[in-house]
Amino acid sequence: MTSLYDAPDEIRVEVDGPVRIVTLNRPDERNAVSKAMLFALTDLVVRLNEDADVGAVVITGAGRAFSAGGDFQHFVRSSKEPEVSRATLDNSRRFITAMQDLKAPIVAAINGPAVGFGGTLAALCDIVLIADGAFISEPHVNIGLVLGDGISITWPLYMGLLKAKEYILTGDRISATEAVACGLANRVVASDDLMPEALALAHRLAAQPREALQHSKAILNGYIKAHMATTLEEVLALQFERTQSAEHAAIVQGMIDRQKRNQPK
pLDDT values of the chain reduced to their tens digit, one per residue, 265 residues: 347 999 999 999 999 999 999 999 999 999 999 989 999 999 999 999 999 999 999 999 999 999 999 887 877 888 888 998 999 999 999 999 999 999 999 999 999 999 999 999 999 999 999 999 999 999 999 999 999 999 999 999 999 999 999 999 999 999 999 999 999 999 999 999 999 999 999 999 999 999 999 999 999 999 999 999 999 999 999 999 999 999 998 988 887 788 777 776 6
Rounded Cα–Cα distance for residues 163 and 181 (Å): 11
Rounded Cα–Cα distance for residues 167 and 119 (Å): 12
Q: What is the pLDDT of residue 76?
A: 81
Among positive and negative, which fits the CA dihedral 125, 127, 129, 130? Answer: positive
Count of residues in the chain: 265
What is the helix (H) or strand (E) element at residue 129, kind and residue range? strand 127-131
* 3-state secondary structure at position 144: coil
Q: What is the pLDDT of residue 77?
A: 84
What is the helix (H) or strand (E) element at residue 120, kind and residue range? helix 117-123
DSSP type of residue 208: S
- In Å, what is the CA distance from 228 to each residue of 32, 164, 232? 25, 16, 5
Q: What is the pLDDT of residue 1?
A: 35
**Domains annotated on the chain, with CATH:** 4-262 (3.90.226.10)
Among positive and negative, which fits the CA dihedral 116, 121, 127, 132? Answer: negative
Instruction: Write the pLDDT tens digit of every residue in 81-139.
Output: 899 899 999 999 999 999 999 999 999 999 999 999 999 999 999 999 999 999 999 99
Rounded Cα–Cα distance for residues 103 and 55 (Å): 9
